[in-house]
């Protein structure tokens, strides 16, 4: 895009490979100021230009050379109704408190729409807090409703202590945690071995090839995607566990830990043929690992009706209430009608890892 200026001397510029070095530091500063998250400048090159679909439609707002706002749209490969397409993950709008005006907001939205059209991306999806839904409506997105979030207690006593609850009360909470915590009985599955892996290899392609026909809408979670998302993300560490039967990959789980908050995040949970028993076995394995690594609370996001959601529910995970989790799923573009008639968020395979936040 050509650099655009508003009447208030705001300048809107597309982030490209050629200008990334100039703007990466400012994007990191903006992220820390607005979101409270520290990321290295190298993170933005990974996010916007090393992804499997190879690009983004990200636009920044400058005032007198200082970055004051950003709207990101990462290009990702997805499958919709059996057809692979390229879509944009709209990651949201960030603006400095002093720049939260209609002028800046409108400029970012209009510039992002222009860049999405220029890139010939007919589909978009994203996740945003409900109070920002009206902004996304102006971008041509509409909500499919609240995105489900799941939580489970690995160690309630640890959670209470980390929040300064007195020892006696937290000990009582620990006793209660045995009743409301994740049920971790290991049910053996003959012939299946679960073990950690360091990186994803090409066996993931065969695994995903069998899973993809079961999806109505999903990011294409093949080797290329998983290597990019979890093996090469700067500044983040992920743990991977895989299930094998005679060296054939039959399931996987990915998680991360926020040690500052004592939280664990279950980012991926998949099994061949959506095998519920194997999904539960994998989930128990990684919950145990997160517990050992100091996590008290574990969060995940899988859509209703998905095999992963059913597995977590069976283990005692609960759905976050709107008071604590009020994220909506947004889509834009020409989405085909689901012939099953279920519609909404049914048969979607999007996980917390696809948000690219944790």
Is 75 domain-assigned?
yes
Sort 145 into a burial class: Cβ within 10 Å, 0-12 / 13-18 / 19+: exposed
The yes-or-no verdict on residue 8 having pLDDT over 60 is yes
Query: Can you tell me whether residue 84 is helix, strand or coil?
Result: strand
> What SS3 class is residue 247?
coil
Query: How many domains are contained in the chain?
Result: 2
Nearest-angstrom CA–CA distance, 239 and 107? 40
Residues 50 and 189 in one domain: no
Residue 287: pLDDT over 90: yes
User: Do 180 and 85 fall into the same domain?
Assistant: no
193: helix, coil or strand? strand
92 and 232 co-located in one domain: no
Q: Do 232 and 157 have their domain in common?
A: yes
The predicted-structure confidence for 49-67, as pLDDT tens digits, reads as follows 999 998 899 999 999 999 9
Q: Is residue 138 part of a domain?
A: no
Residues 214 and 102 grouped into a single domain: no
C-alpha angle 239-218-348 in degrees, rounded to nearest 5:
100
Cβ neighbours of residue 28 under 8 Å, at least 6 residues apart? 38, 39, 40, 41, 43, 44
Position 295 in a domain: yes
The answer to the question of residue 356 being in a domain is no
Element containing residue 313 per DSSP (H, E): helix 307-314
Q: What is the DSSP string of 9-66?
A: -EEEEE--TTTHHHHHHHHHHHHHHHT-----THHHHHHHHSSTT--B--EEEEETTE
- Domain containing 18 equals 4-121
* φ and ψ of 332, to 5 deg: -150, 150
User: Collapsing DSSP states into helix, strand and coil, what is residue 151?
Assistant: strand
Assigned domain for 320 exists: yes
Q: Are residues 73 and 165 in the same domain?
A: no
Give domain status of residue 159, yes or no.
Answer: yes
Question: Are residues 190 and 303 both part of a single domain?
Answer: yes
Number of helical (H) and strand (E) elements in the chain, helices listed first: 10, 17
Among 151, 129, 147, 127, which Cα is nearest to 264's?
151
- Provide the mean pLDDT of the chain: 85
Q: In angstroms, rounded to a whole number, what is the distance separating the alpha carbons of residues 174 and 156?
A: 5
From residue 308, give the alpha-carbon distance in Å to each of 132, 155, 157: 28, 22, 27
pTM over 0.75: yes
Q: Are 256 and 265 in contact (CB under 8 A)?
A: yes
pLDDT in tens, 97-131: 998 888 888 888 888 888 888 888 878 888 887 77
Contact indicator for 299, 149 with CB cutoff of 8 Å: yes
Same domain for 63 and 192, yes or no, is no
Strands 297-300 and 150-153: antiparallel
Residue 187: inside a domain: yes
**One domain for residues 116 and 161:** no
**How much is the average pLDDT of 173-200?**
77
Same domain, 32 and 90: yes
Chain-centroid distance of CA 54 in Å reads 18
Distance separating alpha carbons of residues 116 and 64, to the nearest angstrom? 26
Q: Which helix (H) or strand (E) holds 116?
A: helix 102-118
CATH of the domain at 168: 3.40.630.30
- Distance of alpha carbon 156 from alpha carbon 316, whole angstroms: 14
Separation of alpha carbons 19 and 177, rounded Å: 51
Mean pLDDT value of segment 12-40: 94
Q: pLDDT tens-digit profile of 67-80?
A: 999 998 999 999 98
Q: Are 101 and 170 in a shared domain? A: no
Looking at the fold, whether 162 and 45 belong to one and the same domain comes out as: no
8 Å CB contact between 43 and 19: no
**Tell me: the pLDDT tens digits for 245-267?**
998 999 999 999 986 667 899 99
Establish if 28 belongs to a structural domain: yes
């Amino acid at each position: 895009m050509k650099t655009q200026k508003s009447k208030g001397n705001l300048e809107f510029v597309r982030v490209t490979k050629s200008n990334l070095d100039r703007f990466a530091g400012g994007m990191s500063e903006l992220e820390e100021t607005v979101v409270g998250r520290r990321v290295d400048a190298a993170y933005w090159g990974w996010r916007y230009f090393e992804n499997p679909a190879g690009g983004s439609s990200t636009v920044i707002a400058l005032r007198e050379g200082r970055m004051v706002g950003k709207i990101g749209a990462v290009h990702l490969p997805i499958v919709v109704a059996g057809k692979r397409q390229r879509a944009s993950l709209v990651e949201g709008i960030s603006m400095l408190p002093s720049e939260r005006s209609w002028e800046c907001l409108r400029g970012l939205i209009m510039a992002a729409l222009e860049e999405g059209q220029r890139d010939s991306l007919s589909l978009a999806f994203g996740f945003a807090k409900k109070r920002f839904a009206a902004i996304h409506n102006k971008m041509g997105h509409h909500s499919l409703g609240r995105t489900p979030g799941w939580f489970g207690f690995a160690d309630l006593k640890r959670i209470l202590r980390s929040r300064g609850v007195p020892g006696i009360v937290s000990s009582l909470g620990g006793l209660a945690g045995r009743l409301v915590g994740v049920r971790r009985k290991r049910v053996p599955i003959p012939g299946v071995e679960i073990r950690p892996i360091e990186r994803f290899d090409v066996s993931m392609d065969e695994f995903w090839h069998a899973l993809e026909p079961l999806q109505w809408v999903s990011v294409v979670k093949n080797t290329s995607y998983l290597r990019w998302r979890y093996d090469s993300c700067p500044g983040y560490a992920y743990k991977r566990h895989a299930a094998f039967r005679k060296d054939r990959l039959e399931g996987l789980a990915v998680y991360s830990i926020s040690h500052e908050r004592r939280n664990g995040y279950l980012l991926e949970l998949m099994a061949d043929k959506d095998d519920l028993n194997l999904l539960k076995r994998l989930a128990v394995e990684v919950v145990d690992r997160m517990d050992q690594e100091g996590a008290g609370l574990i969060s995940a996001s899988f859509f209703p009706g998905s095999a992963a959601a059913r597995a977590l529910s069976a283990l005692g995970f609960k759905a976050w209430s709107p008071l604590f989790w009020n994220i909506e799923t947004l889509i834009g573009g020409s989405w085909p009608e689901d012939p099953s008639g279920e519609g909404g968020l049914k048969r979607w395979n999007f996980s917390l890892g696809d948000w690219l936040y944790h």
